[in-house]
């Protein structure tokens, strides 16, 4: 899943008074590694389960912060089809 907006993630954390990625991970029942990287902008994607746990911990609607990420294969095929049109 791809993070739609780093700013929205941070604003939801501030609204819920969650100061760190570690605290968000704890509330979401996740290991702090991926969550910390998302918060620090070192990565912009995670698994479906991680995305759901983060959204649930922040109390935001499902699909608000994350969207499905197209696989590299599908993305490559889309570009090839566009070039052949």
How many domains does the chain divide into? 1
Q: Does residue 12 or residue 81 have the better pLDDT? A: 12
State if pTM tops 0.85: no
* 5-36 pLDDT, tens digit each: 999 999 999 999 999 999 999 999 999 999 99
CA 55 centroid distance within chain: 9
Residues 6+ apart with CB under 8 A from 80: none
DSSP states of 47-75 = -HHHHHHHHHHHTPPTTSSEEPPPPHHHH
For residue 56, what are the domain limits? 2-84
- Return the CATH number at 7: 1.10.260.40
- For the record, the structure tokens of 16 come out as 């819920």
Please write the tens of the pLDDT for every residue from 26-75.
999 999 999 999 999 999 999 999 999 999 999 999 999 999 987 655 55
């Amino acid at each position: 899943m791809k993070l739609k907006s780093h700013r929205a993630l941070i604003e939801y954390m501030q609204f819920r008074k969650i100061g760190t990625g570690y605290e968000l991970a704890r509330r979401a029942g996740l290991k702090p590694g991926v969550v910390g990287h998302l918060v620090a902008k070192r990565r912009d994607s995670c698994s479906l389960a991680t995305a759901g746990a983060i959204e649930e911990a922040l109390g935001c609607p499902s699909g608000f912060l994350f969207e499905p990420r197209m696989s590299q294969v599908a993305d490559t095929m889309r570009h090839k089809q566009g070039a052949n049109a």
